[in-house]
Amino acid sequence: MIAFLLGGYHPAATEKVQNVIVPRLVSVALLLALAFHLFGTLVRTSAQATMQSRIHSILGQEIEKVPGARLAELTLVRTQTKTTAWVVIRTRNPSLRIKLLT
Protein backbone atom coordinates (compact mmCIF):
# COMPACT_ATOMS: atom_id res chain seq x y z
CA MET A 1 0.00 0.00 0.00
CA ILE A 2 2.81 2.40 0.87
CA ALA A 3 4.61 1.55 -2.39
CA PHE A 4 1.44 2.36 -4.33
CA LEU A 5 1.00 5.54 -2.31
CA LEU A 6 4.54 6.71 -3.02
CA GLY A 7 4.96 5.33 -6.54
CA GLY A 8 1.39 5.21 -7.59
CA TYR A 9 -0.18 5.54 -10.99
CA HIS A 10 1.20 8.31 -13.23
CA PRO A 11 -1.35 9.57 -15.75
CA ALA A 12 -0.13 10.97 -19.06
CA ALA A 13 -1.84 14.36 -18.86
CA THR A 14 -0.36 17.04 -16.56
CA GLU A 15 -3.71 18.17 -15.19
CA LYS A 16 -4.40 14.60 -14.08
CA VAL A 17 -1.07 14.65 -12.21
CA GLN A 18 -2.17 17.75 -10.30
CA ASN A 19 -5.45 16.05 -9.39
CA VAL A 20 -3.53 13.07 -7.98
CA ILE A 21 -0.99 15.01 -5.92
CA VAL A 22 -3.52 16.58 -3.53
CA PRO A 23 -5.06 13.29 -2.35
CA ARG A 24 -1.58 11.81 -1.90
CA LEU A 25 -0.47 14.77 0.20
CA VAL A 26 -3.59 14.45 2.32
CA SER A 27 -2.92 10.73 2.76
CA VAL A 28 0.70 11.36 3.76
CA ALA A 29 -0.36 14.09 6.23
CA LEU A 30 -2.90 11.76 7.84
CA LEU A 31 -0.33 8.96 7.98
CA LEU A 32 2.20 11.24 9.71
CA ALA A 33 -0.39 12.47 12.22
CA LEU A 34 -1.33 8.89 13.05
CA ALA A 35 2.34 7.90 13.37
CA PHE A 36 3.04 10.71 15.85
CA HIS A 37 -0.03 9.83 17.90
CA LEU A 38 0.85 6.13 18.02
CA PHE A 39 4.46 6.90 18.95
CA GLY A 40 3.30 9.11 21.85
CA THR A 41 0.95 6.38 23.03
CA LEU A 42 3.75 3.81 22.85
CA VAL A 43 6.07 6.01 24.92
CA ARG A 44 3.41 6.61 27.61
CA THR A 45 2.46 2.93 27.76
CA SER A 46 6.06 1.73 28.03
CA ALA A 47 6.80 4.30 30.75
CA GLN A 48 3.72 3.13 32.68
CA ALA A 49 4.76 -0.53 32.36
CA THR A 50 8.31 0.27 33.49
CA MET A 51 7.02 2.17 36.50
CA GLN A 52 4.64 -0.66 37.46
CA SER A 53 7.49 -3.15 37.22
CA ARG A 54 9.73 -1.02 39.43
CA ILE A 55 6.94 -0.56 42.00
CA HIS A 56 6.32 -4.31 42.14
CA SER A 57 9.99 -5.12 42.58
CA ILE A 58 10.51 -2.50 45.31
CA LEU A 59 7.37 -3.62 47.12
CA GLY A 60 8.46 -7.25 46.87
CA GLN A 61 11.83 -6.44 48.41
CA GLU A 62 10.32 -4.42 51.25
CA ILE A 63 7.54 -6.91 52.01
CA GLU A 64 10.09 -9.72 52.34
CA LYS A 65 11.66 -7.83 55.28
CA VAL A 66 8.46 -8.11 57.35
CA PRO A 67 7.49 -11.63 58.45
CA GLY A 68 3.95 -12.60 57.51
CA ALA A 69 3.37 -9.54 55.33
CA ARG A 70 1.59 -9.80 51.99
CA LEU A 71 0.49 -7.40 49.31
CA ALA A 72 -3.29 -7.07 49.45
CA GLU A 73 -3.93 -4.31 46.93
CA LEU A 74 -1.98 -2.04 44.61
CA THR A 75 -3.75 0.85 42.89
CA LEU A 76 -2.09 3.28 40.52
CA VAL A 77 -3.85 6.63 40.13
CA ARG A 78 -2.62 8.66 37.18
CA THR A 79 -3.18 12.41 36.87
CA GLN A 80 -1.83 14.70 34.18
CA THR A 81 1.36 15.51 36.08
CA LYS A 82 2.11 12.50 38.28
CA THR A 83 1.19 8.95 39.19
CA THR A 84 0.40 7.95 42.76
CA ALA A 85 0.59 4.38 44.05
CA TRP A 86 -1.79 3.34 46.84
CA VAL A 87 -0.65 0.15 48.52
CA VAL A 88 -2.44 -2.03 51.07
CA ILE A 89 -0.20 -4.51 52.89
CA ARG A 90 -1.63 -7.05 55.31
CA THR A 91 0.40 -8.30 58.28
CA ARG A 92 -0.27 -10.47 61.29
CA ASN A 93 0.39 -7.47 63.53
CA PRO A 94 -2.20 -4.79 62.60
CA SER A 95 -0.43 -2.08 64.62
CA LEU A 96 2.73 -2.42 62.52
CA ARG A 97 3.30 0.56 60.22
CA ILE A 98 5.66 0.27 57.27
CA LYS A 99 6.90 3.31 55.41
CA LEU A 100 7.97 2.09 51.99
CA LEU A 101 7.97 5.06 49.66
CA THR A 102 7.68 8.76 50.34
User: Tens of pLDDT along 3-53?
Assistant: 556 666 555 555 666 677 888 888 999 999 999 999 999 998 998 889 888
Per the prediction, the chain carries an average pLDDT of: 79
Residue 87 has pLDDT above 80, yes or no: yes
- Cα 48 to Cα 42, 66, 79, 99: the distances in Å are 10, 28, 12, 23
Per-residue pLDDT averaged across 77-93, rounded? Answer: 82
- Which value, in Å, is the radius of gyration of the alpha carbons in the chain? 27
